[in-house]
Amino acid sequence: MNPWFLTACVLLQVLLFDPRPPLLPAAAIVVIVGLLAWTRQHWNSHLDMYLLMLGPGSLAMYAAGKYGFGSGMACHLSFSWTHLLTMTAGMLLVTMPLTWRYARCVAEARRRGQGVAFLAMDGAGMAIGMALAHLPALALAGHAAPPAWVSHAVMLVGMGGGMLAAHALFVLWNTRLVDDTAAAVR
């Protein structure tokens, strides 16, 4: 997984949202993600998947929203299930193969023979987390919506939360499976 590529994907997103972004927040976002990408070997293996979702996945989501509907981040400005599903599909189509190949957490699951289940559960958690993060857009329907980048950031936090919840459920399921197998052997 190339840290230059991940950092460039995030920089491109910042520039696509606003050709003249506020310099300090934009630089902070790019630097933080860049530092995480460059030092990812020292962090939890699940960070690989999250970085792929933040970088090329989020960029694919932007492209699916823009070219699928011609409105860029309209999903963040006026909620639409169709738009959300299109953008989520764009993200999944790009990131699932990359995650299968480059994420250390998936490589560990593949070694245990659980790669497909692990990736499916995390992908579902990510999609559910993003959908739940869009609930405030429903509450704000007809009112002044926050800027698109704020909604996008909230969605990315929801995505991470969904992935963490799915991972926790997978660990619980896996632990129970191991415990049940051990009990059956006794």
Residue type, 54: L
Rounded Cα–Cα distance for residues 53 and 153 (Å):
13
Residue 3 lies inside a defined structural domain of this protein: no
CA 34 to chain centre: 16
Mean pLDDT of 65-84: 61
Residues in the chain: 186
pLDDT of residue 71: 52
Residue 128 lies inside a defined structural domain of this protein: yes
* Contact criterion met (CB below 8 Å) for 89 and 64: yes
> Domain range spanning residue 148?
46-185
Higher-confidence position of 117 and 17: 117
At residue 176's C-alpha, the angle toward residues 174 and 179, to 5°, is 110
pLDDT of residue 140: 65
Q: Ramachandran region of residue 144, left (φ > 0), alpha (ψ -120 to 50) or beta?
A: beta
Residue 35 lies inside a defined structural domain of this protein: no
Rounded Cα–Cα distance for residues 159 and 176 (Å):
26
Residue type, 120: A
Residue 28 lies inside a defined structural domain of this protein: no
Rounded Cα–Cα distance for residues 30 and 10 (Å):
6
Q: What total of structural domains would you count in the chain? A: 1
Residue 26 lies inside a defined structural domain of this protein: no
Mean pLDDT of 164-183: 74
Residue 166 lies inside a defined structural domain of this protein: yes
Confidence class of residue 66 from pLDDT cuts 50, 70 and 90?
Answer: low
Q: Given a cut of 80, is residue 175 above it in pLDDT?
A: no
Residue 143 lies inside a defined structural domain of this protein: yes
Residue 30 lies inside a defined structural domain of this protein: no
C-alpha Rg value of the chain to the nearest Å: 18
* Contact criterion met (CB below 8 Å) for 54 and 8: no
Rounded Cα–Cα distance for residues 85 and 168 (Å):
24
pLDDT of residue 98: 93
Which residue intervals of 20-147 are DSSP H helices?
23-38, 46-52, 58-69, 74-77, 81-102, 104-111, 115-133, 135-139
